[in-house]
Amino acid sequence: MTFKNIEKGSKKYYEEIMYISSNYYIFKKRPRTKTHSLINVFILYIILFLILLFSFLFIPNMMIIIGVCLTCIIVYTYLLIETNYKLREFMKHNNSLIKIDETGIENIEEKQVSTKLYWDSIEYIIINKYSICILPKNFAHFAIFISINSKDEVYKALKKYNKLNLLIDNSK
């Protein structure tokens, strides 16, 4: 079964897959983890460190903690800017083709390298609010991300190849 993965221009989709990619180990250990916007997480950390910074400014002899807070604010601001840049670049990508057959799941991108995960190398297929994430068992493989618009096609293919045991639904 082959279908088009319509992902171009979907900001929420890319924010979700960036969060999953940056927290890959957490999703491997606890696949029922809820996703958040990575940009909102960085903004929350910046606000937290600003509050800590201003609270320690009124306490004398706390220069080390103030320095740590300032460093954390600078680091998270840099990460926020870098994440926004990556998000804009990802949104320029073209749509890809997803091929699900008896051997596994393949992501085919025009003029780029295809990614294929065989059924025995897939640990989880996690359905999130805006994306479907296919996580491999080991870290040598790439995760495959599919837009939530293709949820019905993925479900039919998993049912056809008797792989529903890999499915975890976090979309609710």
List, in order, residues 6 or more apart from 9 with CB less than 8 Å away: 91
Length of the chain: 172
Considering only CA atoms, which of 143, 46, 38 is closest in space to residue 83? Answer: 38
For 2, 40, 74, 107, the CA distances from 112, given in Å and listed in that order, are 18, 31, 35, 10
- Can you give the pLDDT at residue 65? 79
Integer angstrom CA distances of residue 89 from 54, 76, 83, 110: 35, 20, 10, 17
When the pLDDT of each residue in the chain is averaged and rounded to a whole number, the result is 82
List, for residues 63-103, the tens digit of each pLDDT value. 777 788 888 888 888 888 887 777 777 666 667 788 888 99
Q: Is the pLDDT of residue 41 over 80?
A: yes
Considering Cα of 16, then 18, then 23, then 27, what sign does the dihedral take? positive
* pTM exceeding 0.85: no
pLDDT at 62: 75
